[in-house]
Amino acid sequence: MKCADCGAENAEGSKFCGQCGARLEQKCPNCGETVPPSNKFCPSCGTRLTAPSTAAEPAAAPPSVAPAQTIRPVQPVAPAAPPPAAQSYSQPTYGPPAPPSYGPPPPPAAPAYGPPPAPAYAPPAYDVRSGPAPAAGYGFSATSTAADSGYVAGPTAGLAAPWPGAQSAWVYKGLAPRFFALLIDGIIVGLPSYVLVGVLFGDQMGRALAYGDTAAFAGPYMLMMVISLAYTLVLEAGGGTLGKRILGMKIVDAQGNKPGFGKSLVRNLLRIVDALPFAYLIGIIAVASSQTKQRVGDKAAGTFVVAK
């Protein structure tokens, strides 16, 4: 198709000139009628205006014979190159450079002098004869043994002291202090008991002494035994009798607590065994041969006589 403005030949069916861009119009070769470029047939005579495509549709005979058209090959037009991408620039950083650091490098850290710090836990020193020694720092050195300090191993030996100044082991009381505590308790209980017996059984005891009737002493004797047992049970359940407290002793269980009424009852009922065969002989032997100074009643009740 020939452009009317510049005379350039364009491909059939083109709407605009490829050379100057002007709008193209085609004319019917049969009747000469001007036809829009988008039409394939002339609206007046029906003549086909574009060459049929053999691949898309079959060739059809036009209604009227048209003169042969000369088809010239069209040179392909290369697509326009895309515009170059805009270059991005980063904003430069202005200002003076950082000043260099002058001077000698910092000296290395000075080594720590002196003895190393003490460990958080120091195991107690042991002695094969008497067990662990009390904790150091309360008047005893870490290398002292239990035999040197007079302390003997107990259920709480080797444990840390629960507060400053507390003993880390028990001092068990043997025969001599317990004997003197028993004498003091006998005086404390005996004098009021004799006064009470004299008031209640004075006439009966006078007739018994006059006539030699020993059975008359059974009542006063039983009363004195009940008073002594009640005194011992109640006070030892709370930690010791008055005689033991005066001499700086107390009675504790395996955890260091007060024995309570149940253990105090077992401890005192077994005095019958400790008193056999006479003069507390079994009790004396048990205390003397025990490392924890326990008589038979103490071992059955799980109690200990220790220093306060």
Per-residue pLDDT tens digits for 217-259:
888 889 999 999 999 999 999 999 999 999 999 999 999 999 9
The tokens describing 259, both together, are 């024995």
> Hey, what amino acid is at 89?
Y
Least confident of 46-50, 176-180, 266-270: 46-50
Q: Look at residue 164 in the predicted model and tell me its pLDDT.
A: 46
What percent of the chain stands above pLDDT 90?
A: 36
Q: With contact defined as beta carbons under 8 Å apart, do 142 and 122 qualify?
A: yes
Q: Look at residue 28 in the predicted model and tell me its pLDDT.
A: 78
Which residues make beta-bridge pairs with 303?
A: 253
Longest dimension (CA), the chain: 184
Count other C-beta atoms under 10 Å from residue 134's C-beta: 24
Q: With contact defined as beta carbons under 8 Å apart, do 63 and 28 qualify?
A: no
Q: What is the mean pLDDT of the chain?
A: 75
Span 104-132, average pLDDT = 60
